Amino acid sequence: MIQPDNFACHNIHMETERLKLRPFKDGDFDIAVPFYKDPEFLNAIEESPPDEPVSKEYLKKAGKFMRDSGFLFAIVEKASGRTIGEVCLQWMNLERAKIAGKKVMRLPIAIWDKTLWGKGYGKEVVRCLMAHAFGKLGIDRFCPVDVPADNIRSIALWRSLGLTVARKADGGKMLDFEITRAEYEKAAQSST
Ligand SMILES: CC(C)(COP(=O)(O)OP(=O)(O)OC[C@H]1O[C@@H](n2cnc3c(N)ncnc32)[C@H](O)[C@@H]1OP(=O)(O)O)[C@@H](O)C(=O)NCCC(=O)NCCS
């Protein structure tokens, strides 16, 4: 049963060494709003500044697109109990990255608090969701798309997990990454 405050409308809970992933709640948008006012954070995730002030309603609009096409999670730090970010395992919605007859997913992710960047949290989250997507959802290809070409952290994250650039978009301003099932399984085998 879906509780009234369960914005994500799924009941999947996952856990990594230091983090929990749980369905995104309506109240999580209130926690997110102040972080979306930080220019450094906004610059990391948006190609250009938002055309209206970031409010709860603004974030909910984007959140609805994600939850209607995938699994939207809040990222919770176990040690502090704080909700520190959002991540969505989302069915591919960009035509350029779709492949007829294949199951392809993308993964928008944001750790809101920049003091927590670079501690391995992003990698922990993505490893967990890649395992879920390939293992449980049976995807053929995992493709984080629309990564700003100047987002060093995001690029380092995808590369560190064995993903490669599939294409450049928007005159080289955006990068699409990918890893196929065969590449994922090969990497998983060689790490055991
Ligand atoms: C992008 C983001 C999810 C990455 O998560 P993170 O927790 O900061 O990254 P991690 O600490 O897990 O690092 C992952 C890899 O990138 C490397 N890395 C992290 N920060 C780096 C930096 N500033 N420069 C170079 N490499 C970096 C790490 O060394 C690690 O590689 P390794 O395991 O081979 O050592 C996070 O920084 C974030 O949410 N940023 C703001 C929102 C954003 O940019 N979202 C993505 C939009 S496309």
Q: Is 147 touching ligand 1 by the criterion CB < 6 Å? A: yes
Q: Is 160 touching ligand 1 by the criterion CB < 6 Å? A: yes
**What band does 131 get if pLDDT is binned at 50, 70 and 90?**
very high
Q: Is 180 touching ligand 1 by the criterion CB < 6 Å? A: no
Furthest C-alpha separation in the chain = 48
The architecture that CATH gives domain 14-190 is 3-Layer(aba) Sandwich (3.40)
Please indicate, yes or no, whether the overall pTM of this predicted structure exceeds 0.75.
yes
Q: What is the pLDDT of residues 156-188, one digit of tens each?
A: 999 999 999 999 999 999 999 999 999 999 998
Q: Is 154 touching ligand 1 by the criterion CB < 6 Å? A: yes
pLDDT value at position 49? 79
pLDDT value at position 28? 98
**CA-to-CA distance for 144 and 105, rounded, in angstroms?**
8
Select from 77, 177, 90, 176 the least CA-distant residue to 132. 90
In sequence order, what are the beta bridge partners of 41? none
Res 47 pLDDT > 80: no
157 alpha carbon – ligand 1 mean position (Å) = 5
101 alpha carbon – ligand 1 mean position (Å) = 32
Average pLDDT for 90-106: 98
Q: Is 109 touching ligand 1 by the criterion CB < 6 Å? A: yes
Task: From the CA of 147, give the closest atom in ligand 1.
Answer: 48
Q: What is the pLDDT of residues 62-96, one digit of tens each?
A: 999 999 999 999 999 999 999 999 999 999 999 99
**CA-to-CA distance for 18 and 30, rounded, in angstroms?**
23
Q: Is 129 touching ligand 1 by the criterion CB < 6 Å? A: no
**C-alpha angle 38/105/13, rounded to 5°?**
75
Domain locations in the chain? 14-190
**What band does 3 get if pLDDT is binned at 50, 70 and 90?**
very high
65 alpha carbon – ligand 1 mean position (Å) = 24
Q: Tokens for 68?
A: 């209607």
pLDDT value at position 150? 94
